[in-house]
Amino acid sequence: MLRIISFFIILLLGLPLFAKDKPVLTVYSYSSFLSEWGPGNKIKQDFQTKCDCLVNMVSIDDGVMILNRLRLEGERSKADIIIGLDTSLIGQANKADLIQPHQMTRPTNLAIDWWDKQFIPYDYGYFAFIYNKEHITSPPQSFAELLNHPEWKIVYQDPRTSTPGLGLLLWVNNIYAQDSANIWQKLAKQTLTVTKGWSESYGLFLQGEADFVLSYTTSPAVHMINDNDHRYQAAIFDEGNYRQIELAAITKYSQQPELAKQFLAFLLTPAVQQLIAEKNIMYPAVNTTVPAAYAEIPQVTKSLSFNENEVFNNQKKWIKQWQRAVSQ
Amino acid sequence: MATSRQPIAAYLPGIMVVIFITTIVVSALASLWWFAFTNSDEPFYFDSYLWQIILFTFIQATLSTIISVILAVFFAKAIYQNHFIGKAWLLRLLSLTFVLPSLVVVTGLIAVYGAHGWIAKLCLYMNMDYSFSIYGLNGILIAHVFLNFPFASKYCYQSLLLIPNQQRQLAEQLGLSPVYTFRYLELPVLIKQLLPLSGLIFMLCFSSFAIVLALSGGPKYTTIEVAIYQAVRDFELNQAVILSCIQLLFCCGFLLLLKRLEPKKSPLLINNNQPYVSRRNQWQNYGSYSIVAVGALFISLPLLTIVFEGIYHASYLFLTKSLVVATFTSIIVAVCSAVLAMLQAILLLWTNSRLQFVGKNKLSEILMLLGTLILAVPSMVLSAGFFIVFYRFSDTSGVIFILVVISNSLLALPFILKQLSVPLTDLTKQYGFLSQSLNIKGFRYFYLIEFKALKKLFVYSFTLACIMSLGDFGIIALFGGQQFMTLPYYLYELISHYRYPEASFSALLLLLISFLFMTLFEYSHDDRT
């Protein structure tokens, strides 16, 4: 036993000592991007074979925490690249002044109408309510329809603690603006519960506790790919579904700006984009082949979004409004 | 008393531990505070919603604590009084609910009480209407009772074992009714042991939040910990620091209140080897057996769903390299954390019992409070503070390992202290003078007197610390990640990638390892004395 333990400790202590002579590119990303089912590891390997450098992937909870980590570390941060902030976080990131312009030209094969001097989009998706089509035979076509069925139970995530939860907050405010407090109260009557994160709520949904769960339009594809299970569907709303774009950027204090630029360009190559669509289960940012299951997913008819200032200036106000409305 | 003067060696160990703990906690908090102060211009706000949260947090924590403890007394008494097949198994189960990740607990409870749970299916089969909803206050209470009541029962059971059998015999010869026996023999012992435990349960429920959120039915019922979590996420560190001070204040207040309630005079506690079974009539027998049955069902049903799910989905294909590595990392972290926690507890208690021996109760109280206080510090604030102090080393796995072990040991410490403090103090009161006259000191005293007398409790405390550290992943979320993965962390990753069969298998594995720890240590300390 002692031998195993000491072996382990030596192994753990020794890992960072290998091969220091090559330049090291440090990338911060969220944990599911870097996990063994995410695209992170393959991207790292592929880039390393091209760049004659080492890529050090650091996994951090989620986009918000990546931003916080940068804020905590300030100019002493080792991060060169961050992957995983989304469009609703740009305002905060800009205010904290942590990013440098990437100086890349807009690719001609970009699949979305979004480009920025500081951030590059690497994938995108739409928030949607997922249902089981064996239980819900006439799915709602709009928020109004969803809220017109008092017997439907809905589970979503807390916007204070979760990214999709915040997405719903933006979605509702985008459609209903002044009237959203009213909508929250209506939704509250059908809400089974609000969970801390996505995992808990999706679990409740799969256990049959709720009829609808807030997730992404692409979520059903995973069930098709993993288990050949075609029961789950995303409800597409006539008013539109809120779009989330995931972003990568070069940090302000990066020691390797050239290498970092190469890496961002690499992220947008069709091969990597294909990998992201396959393993991050989001739409690729440039035109490329997507997994076959994506063909089965209904297309979003109208894409909704705010610009970063609208999010930045209103987020706290909207959260308070939500709190008040659902606590009554 | 001339003999009551203690050499410096008696104080040093405890003081060292307290300095170690407070240095870590205070430096983490202070650095966060300092950072918040210098880097943020956000004003602190205190609105009516926050008041509502604080009030609700307090109410649910109080209710959860009271229900858990009262049920625990009845359940423990029923287990104590009866011999039945599977008693040893049940006793081992009692510490398990404590260690499960919140996600697994919620899943287990929903599988039993949910709209399509076992009870609902049973009702449907019997053509009965099942309208119970596990969401809202009752869900929160069920979850908190499910988490804390079994542990409290185990603790009560051990307390009952501490009542000398001679006293029970005497009570029986005097013809005391069960009510009177409870009132005069058992209640004083239980109160002495349960009040400090109530403090721990209160703090756990006060700061619980993933479970509260999942079962609350909405933000109408949230805890102050959510507000703190949100403040850290929004980088309103001032707000986070002030809110965690409020939380700290509430928890300290509750602990002091409990201290006030503690009776001044209390019986001495010594461990018996066998429970004493008194004579009872048929009805009393039926009553206590049904309490055992209901309690055992309440604890085991959600666990059984985890087991069934795990077995149903089990496949050797799931034994991937990552799972094996995560499992080994967890076990090694758990054992190291437990060793460190035991070391701290023994040193701290060494000084504590000697302080009590010479009547320095105030000092002893402060010592124990400092050992417990870490539970009242929100984990998010603690990890953020830890991070500011140590982030320079955050990409060195060795340092992460040490940090994780230290923080796990600090979190397990309060529970070990509660287990051991009263019996150790009583032992010192009993054998203090004798061992002084025989010149038994230092390590020899610890081994001959304390360890030999309370071997079972020591081993149990160690095991508890092990399984508590197995299930915890608080700080790893901030530091760890791919290069340092424990089993609970891996479990969350599986779920966030829609790998449900593998996840249920991993949850089963986590449960099995905890159970194995419990069993292994029980057999390894076969009493030969």
Nearest to A189 by CA among A149, A144, A158, A160: A149
d(CA B242, CA B255): 20
Query: What is the DSSP track for B317-382?
Result: GG--HHHHHHHHHHHHHHHHHHHHHHHHHHHHHHHHHHHHHTT-HHHHHHHHHHHHGGGGS-HHHH
Q: Tell me if chain B has a CB within 8 Å of the CB of A292.
A: no
Q: Residues in chain B, how many?
A: 529
Helix or strand or coil: residue B264?
coil
Q: Is A231 on the interface with B (CB under 8 A)?
A: no
What's the pLDDT score for residue B518? 85
Residue B396 has φ and ψ, to the nearest 5°, of: -100, 115
In this structure, what token pair is assigned to residue B339? 């060793």
Asked if residues A247 and A122 have their Cβ atoms less than 8 Å apart, the reply is yes
What residues 169-188 of chain A have any CB closer than 8 A to a CB of chain B?
188
Out of B39, B52, B114, name the one closest to residue A327 (CB): B52
Distance CA A71, CA A67 (A): 6
Question: Which contacts qualify for B117-121: CB closer than 8 Å, 24 or more apart?
Answer: B118/B301, B118/B305
| Rounded-to-integer distance, Cα B354 and Cα A76, Å | 48
Dig out the tokens for A275 from the structure.
Answer: 């990998």
pLDDT at B36: 84
Nearest of B81, B429, B212, B446 to residue A158 by alpha carbon: B212
Do the Cβ atoms of B31 and B385 come closer than 8 Å? yes
Here the tokens at position B440 are 């038994």
Interface-testing mutation among B309, B397, B400, with chain A (most A C-beta atoms within 10 A): B397
B50: nearest CA partner in chain A = A323
Q: Got the DSSP string for B82-140?
A: ---TTHHHHHHHTTTGGGS-HHHHHHHHHHHHSTTSHHHHHHHHTT-------SSHHHH
| Other C-beta atoms lying within 10 Å of the C-beta of residue B520 | 11
Task: Judge whether B339 and B405 are in contact, CB under 8 Å.
Answer: no
Answer whether B497 sits within 8 Å of A5, measured CB to CB: no
* Helix%, strand%, coil% for chain A, nearest 5: 45, 20, 30
Residues of B with Cβ-Cβ distance to A73 under 8 angstroms: 391
So what's the pLDDT on residue A260? 95
Inter-chain residue contact A206 with B500, CB threshold 8 Å: yes
CA distance B40 to A96: 11
B501 to chain A: closest CA residue? A227
- How many C-beta atoms lie closer than 10 Å to residue B49's C-beta? 15
**Which helix (H) or strand (E) element contains residue A119?**
strand A119-132
Per-residue model confidence (pLDDT) at position B471: 65
Neighbours of A296 (CB within 10 A): 12
Shortest Cα–Cα distance, A106 to chain B (Å): 31
| Residue A1 three-state SS | coil
> How big is the CA angle at A224 (ends A218 and A227), to the nearest 5 degrees?
135
Largest CA distance in chain B: 76
Report CB contact under 8 Å: B497, A34. no
Candidates A15, A194, A323; nearest CB to B49: A323
Query: Which chain A positions have a beta carbon within 8 Å of B481's beta carbon?
Result: 31, 34, 58-60
Structural contact between residues B108 and B134, judged by C-beta atoms closer than 8 angstroms: no
* b/e per residue A17-50 (b: at least 16 CB within 10 A): eeeeeeebbbbbbbbbbbbbbbbbbebbebbeee
**A residues 241-280 closer than 8 Å to B (CB):** none
Cβ neighbors of A179 (< 8 A, separation 6 or more) are none
pLDDT of the residue at B273: 64
A43 touches chain B (CB under 8 A): no
- Which stretches of chain A score pLDDT less than 70? 1-20
Say whether A50 sits in a helix, a strand or coil.
Answer: helix
Q: What is the pLDDT along chain B (529 residues), one digit of tens a residue?
A: 444 556 677 788 888 888 998 888 888 888 888 888 887 666 777 778 888 888 999 999 999 999 999 999 999 999 988 888 888 889 888 888 877 788 888 889 999 998 888 999 899 898 888 888 889 898 999 999 999 999 999 888 888 887 888 888 888 888 888 788 888 888 888 888 888 889 889 988 998 888 888 888 887 788 888 888 888 888 888 888 888 888 888 888 888 888 888 777 666 666 666 667 766 777 878 888 999 999 999 999 999 999 999 999 888 878 888 899 999 989 999 999 999 999 999 999 888 888 887 878 788 888 888 888 788 888 778 888 888 887 777 667 777 788 888 888 988 899 898 888 878 888 887 777 777 777 777 777 777 777 777 788 888 889 989 988 886 656 665 665 566 788 888 888 888 888 888 899 999 999 999 888 888 877 665 443 3
User: Are B281 and B178 in contact, with CB atoms under 8 Å apart?
Assistant: no
Residue B529 has a pLDDT of 33
Q: Which of residues 118-177 of B touch A (CB under 8 A)?
A: 135
Nearest to B220 by CA among B140, B127, B124: B140
B99/chain A closest Cα distance in angstroms: 18
> Which of B214, B391, B398 is nearest residue A12 as measured by Cβ atoms?
B398
